[in-house]
Amino acid sequence: MILSGLSGWLPPRTVGNSDVLAHLPEGLSEEWIVQRTGIRERRRVDPDMSTSDMAVRAAAPLVASTPGRIDAVVVATTTPDFPIPATAPIVAAELGLVEAAAWDVNSACSGFITGLAAVTSMIAAGVFGRALLIGADAMSTVVDRSDRNTAILFGDGAGAVLLEADSGAESGSFGPFDLGSDGGNTKLVGIDAGGSRQRSRTGSCAADHDHYLHMAGPELFTHAVRRMTASSATAIKDAGWEPSDVDWLVAHQANARILSAVADRLGIPEERCVVNVDLVGNTSAASIPLAMAHLHRSGRVRAGDRVLLTAFGAGLAWGSTTLAWPDLPH
């Protein structure tokens, strides 16, 4: 199977660090945010815009440029439009893909890699000939703007890829996947309200803060670096590569310090690391495809370049794979 199309979309509204600080306790500074996260600005959806709206905008160019049938639409997201139904059928309908198979993947920030493993496997098995995988999250809708642990980090956006049966060309092909999870640490990051656990409690009424994302930053930092490093090393080894063979590291854009630590442990030079977290923040499931689109627009990547993809998120869940960069139009 190969990656034959790539597209990204960001809301036009830019939110700088000064805007974020307006809702946080006094004593913090823009420089404090930059030093802690590497983030200078992020995007935010306008009122009445949802995850499906962003997903449609990200995928529309791929649909418009694809003459053949698209058999499936998969949306990786932690911020679905509704608990029920899934967001993917809504997106498929808006894109005019009538009767395409459609479902969501909820694996938080690692959702795109998880979805990529599932969809490429189905294509390889002959279930689908061509599929859209979209990573989209409206994180601003689940972040408490007065919470210094989360408000400084997250932004909104969507990225999409078109995947199809292998034509025999090496360019655009994926290597083996490495996936994992650690459900014993689910409480480190998540949203407590809205699910069956909270709703099944007799007479339960969730507190306002339970509807927002919470996270234990220092512990997550340690897990993220360790898990992405180990998973990446496995993916590299299984692909028959050495770390020195990696032309580009496209890691989940959690924050700049995590990116730097993972690259350092893998022995990948800083100049080979794709970084756009400074401009878009942590966009959860949209992070990897948006970083890929950022690399493509930069003009630095060439067809056949060896790319390592890795991500880590709530669950805890993580995943990695390799990619021979496709020959994509500019």
> Among the options 17, 109, 223, 255, which is catalytic?
109
Q: Does residue 255 have an active-site annotation?
A: no
Question: Prior bond to 85 cis, omega within 30?
Answer: yes
Q: Given the structure tokens 């056949």, which residue do they identify?
A: 304
Residue 205 a catalytic site member: no
Give the residue from 258, 254, 259 showing the smallest Cα distance to 285. Answer: 254
The single residue listed with the structure tokens 């199977």 is: 1
Catalytic residue selected from 17, 106, 255, 282: 282
The DSSP code for 12 is S
In sequence order, the 6+-apart residues with CB closer than 8 A to the CB of 60 are 7, 95
Six-digit token string for 123: 């294509």
What single string gives the DSSP state of each residue in 245-261?
G-SEEEE--S-HHHHHH
Q: Which of 262, 255, 195 is nearest to 226 (CA)?
A: 262
What token pair was written down for 105? 């993947």
Nearest to 119 by CA among 231, 2, 8, 236: 2
The 3-state DSSP class for residue 207 equals coil
Q: Is 311 helix (H, G, I), strand (E, B) or coil?
A: strand
How far is it, in rounded angstroms, from Cα 281 to Cα 259?
A: 13
Picking from 73, 89, 93, the residue whose alpha carbon sits closest to that of residue 81 is 89
Alpha helices (H) in the chain, listed in sequence order: 17-21, 30-37, 51-64, 87-94, 111-124, 148-151, 196-199, 217-238, 256-266, 277-280, 287-298
Task: Select which of 252, 255, 273, 296 is catalytic.
Answer: 252
Active site residue 252: yes
- β-pair type (174-181, 189-190): unpaired
Catalytic residues: 109, 252, 282
